[in-house]
Amino acid sequence: MSLTSEKTSNSYDERAALLFAAWFSTLADRLQERNLPVDKFAYLVQLNDFGDSEHESERLAFFQAVNETARESTILGVSDDSEPDAVFKHHLDAPLQRLSNQISLMQQRTASTASQAEPMVPPTRTSASTLC
């Protein structure tokens, strides 16, 4: 499968794949800019904060970057394969791998932090006879 700039119209599958690829790639870039797992996680929480006007400009900037990346991708070339699975695989494999790597960094840190924390002691049941 190769890219060709001769093909000018994108199928709906290709458009969707390009949008998702741009989204995942932009998100991976933004997470990669943050060194600490806690900062990566905080960025995801902030991006998901729909109700806070404080983060509105940052959300807008993120989605403008996604839009610009998707537009550039449609200009640069498209897959010459028309099978939906091949189209999605072609466009999504690399961005998904990059995003997965960033999320794995957060998960590893969270897991190691959780394993170092004091274990939670489950509450004990008190029988009615011990209360009297």
| pLDDT tens digit sequence for 67-88 | 999 999 887 766 777 787 888 9
Give the E-state strand segments of the chain in sequence order.
3-4, 78-79
Query: Per-domain residue ranges for the chain?
Result: 8-116
Mean pLDDT of the residues in the chain: 79
Token pair 């011990």 in the structure block, residue: 130
pLDDT by residue (tens digit) across 93-118?
Answer: 999 999 999 999 988 766 666 666 55
CA distance 12 to 20: 12
Instruction: State the pTM of this model.
Output: 0.72
CA distance 26 to 85: 22
Nearest to 78 by CA among 90, 94, 89: 90
| Of 35 and 108, the one with more pLDDT | 35
Phi, psi dihedrals of residue 82, rounded to the nearest 5°? -100, -5
